[in-house]
Amino acid sequence: MSRTLLVIALTFPLSLSSQRPPRQADVRVQGTSLTRDQEMQIGKQFASQVEREMEVVHNPEVEQWLNLIGQKLAKTTQANAYPYYFKLVNDDSINAFALPGGPMYVHTGLLKAADSEGEVAGVLAHEMSHVALRHGAAQITKQQRYGALFQVLGAAAGTLTADQNGQCGLLCQVTQAGTSLGENSLLMKFSRGYERDADLNGARMMAAAGYDPIQLPQFFEKLVATQGTSAEPKGLALWMASHPATGSRIKYVSDDIKFYPKCDYVSATGSFQRVKKLVASLPPAKPQPGKLIQSKQGASERTNLPSGFKDYPANGFSIGYPGAWQVGQAQPGSSLYMIPQGGVAQSQNSGTELLSGAMIDYYVPQAGASAVRLETSTREFIDSMQKGDTSLKAEKPQPAEVGGKPALRTRLTTKTSLQQEPEQVVYLYTVTREAGLWYLVLATQPSKLVELDPVFNQIVTTVQFPD
């Protein structure tokens, strides 16, 4: 009898433990050394890069619809009070991403793959949860060198972004050798734990906004089911690589829903089918300047360059430069620089000042890239520069040829921040291209012209366009 009582006494606590009610899964905001202001600063810089690399869809009806859904979600407590805004980009691959601080971009391919407004809301809620839970900021903090965030080449970033005292600021710390935004970026690829938390927080966000939360995992698993089939949409492999499997999404979100207040999920704008038709009617995406100046992946370097030159094959052109020079971008979405040692400095407004070397980019006229004309767009470009630099003087543009294309060559003079020799001579070459007015700036101090003029002429002869 006593032995039986002892067994009961030992097993009774276990029985109580096994009968404890289940607890809702914990989802926590990640710790990070970045302030919210720093997060928003980084997000703003990345947004600039996104909108130079990708074509933003300017359709009032679509923009209004996307922001109506997004702002419903943004008003929930799960959104963590970030200043979110939402834009659609013309890209048929399945993707959507939110940047630190709140900027969010949705690919047209995602809307084409979705079957309901709730599925779109689920993806938005998931991506917004990465911001609300500070996943991107936490990953930046974990990187000792804040690597692989902005598109630069080699060690040029440290030179291009250090201030005049050699100190590396926040953007310098996050501007290290890497790839373009979205290609294996720390801000686009999260761990399974972060993905699970984004699912759970996103489902709670959806429910609070009046959307059926089960549509979030259902859409993800619907995409998984199409892999390897004729129904697999474009870009799915990249989507799945940045959204790793976390077990049965439907199972753990369903378990979480059991803890939600009982209600009918009725949120809907009623415009989903109309928006899908509008998106389906969009023309193919146009090439964007930020993408065209990036290094072309897998391209072979040319061998017919001047002695000692290296090649930079970009997506929209190729150009050679002296092998001792450095190449890179000062910040996301900025111009491409090719400079000798000490060729740039930080300007008073925290921008980048070219002292000596080359700078390449595209100028988009006020009327848009389709309105680019060689003479009028060059004049508009020079006028815009003179508004920001009262010391800039321009001579009459002269006809030239660059990369086999009609071009203009304009000699300009201005002043720089160099105390010993502030005068600067600038040669501006302009060529009309589909994305805008392509331009090459070659600049140096008058005392270095004899040395650099032959180099500048060689650089111009190396320019090549793909058509």
* Confidence (pLDDT) at 144: 41
CATH number at residue 342: 3.40.1000.10
Domain boundary pick from 280, 307, 337? 280
Once rounded to an integer, what is the mean pLDDT over residues 426-448?
97
Q: What is the pLDDT of residues 292-306, one digit of tens each?
A: 998 898 899 899 999
The C-alpha angle with vertex 414 and arms to 408 and 420, in degrees rounded to 5, equals 135
State the Cα–Cα distance between residues 132 and 128, nearest whole angstrom.
6
Residues 213 and 309 in one domain: no
Q: What is the pLDDT of residues 150-162, one digit of tens each?
A: 333 233 333 444 3
H or E segment to which residue 360 belongs: strand 357-363
Range with the lowest mean pLDDT among 96-110, 318-332, 355-369?
318-332
Once rounded to an integer, what is the mean pLDDT over residues 247-260?
91
Domain boundary pick from 246, 280, 314? 280
Residues 347 and 406 in one domain: yes
Once rounded to an integer, what is the mean pLDDT over residues 188-201?
88
Residue 89 is assigned to a structural domain of this protein: yes
Q: What is the count of structural domains for the chain? A: 2
Confidence of residue 332 (pLDDT cuts 50, 70, 90): low
Where in the sequence is the domain holding 48, given as residue range(s)? 36-143+186-280
Confidence of residue 18 (pLDDT cuts 50, 70, 90): low
Strand partners, 312: 319
Residues 263 and 396 in one domain: no
* Confidence (pLDDT) at 163: 35
Residue 168 is assigned to a structural domain of this protein: no
Q: Report whether pLDDT(245) > 90.
A: no
Domain boundary pick from 280, 305, 339? 280
Residues 333 and 258 in one domain: no
Residue 273 is assigned to a structural domain of this protein: yes
State the Cα–Cα distance between residues 123 and 220, nearest whole angstrom.
8
Q: What is the pLDDT of residues 212-240, one digit of tens each?
A: 999 999 998 888 888 777 777 777 777 77
Strand partners, 413: 393, 425
State the Cα–Cα distance between residues 138 and 42, nearest whole angstrom.
13
Q: What is the pLDDT of residues 339-366, one digit of tens each?
A: 998 888 876 665 788 999 999 999 999 9
* Confidence (pLDDT) at 16: 47
Q: Can you give the pTM of this predicted structure?
A: 0.81
Highest mean pLDDT among 183-192, 256-265, 435-444: 435-444
Once rounded to an integer, what is the mean pLDDT over residues 140-144?
67
Q: Report whether pLDDT(454) > 90.
A: yes
Residue 289 is assigned to a structural domain of this protein: no
Range with the lowest mean pLDDT among 68-72, 338-342, 435-439?
338-342
Long-range CB pairs of 405-412 (<8 Å, 24+ gap) are 405/431, 405/432, 405/465, 406/374, 406/431, 406/432, 407/374, 407/431, 408/374, 408/375, 408/378, 410/378, 410/382, 412/382
Residues 334 and 256 in one domain: no
Q: Give the residue, 69 or 177, on which the prediction is more confident.
A: 69
State the Cα–Cα distance between residues 290 and 315, nearest whole angstrom.
10
Once rounded to an integer, what is the mean pLDDT over residues 396-422?
95
Q: Give the residue, 41 or 147, on which the prediction is more confident.
A: 41
Neighbour-count burial of 14, counting CB atoms closer than 10 A to its CB (0-12 exposed, 13-18 middle, 19+ buried): exposed
Q: Which two tokens stand for residue 150?
A: 């902005």
* Confidence (pLDDT) at 348: 63
* Confidence (pLDDT) at 33: 85
* Confidence (pLDDT) at 1: 47
* Confidence (pLDDT) at 355: 92
* Confidence (pLDDT) at 22: 83
* Confidence (pLDDT) at 175: 39
* Confidence (pLDDT) at 347: 67
Nearest to 180 by CA among 326, 32, 336: 336
Mean pLDDT of the chain: 85
Residue 113 is assigned to a structural domain of this protein: yes
* Confidence (pLDDT) at 143: 65
Residues 73 and 200 in one domain: yes
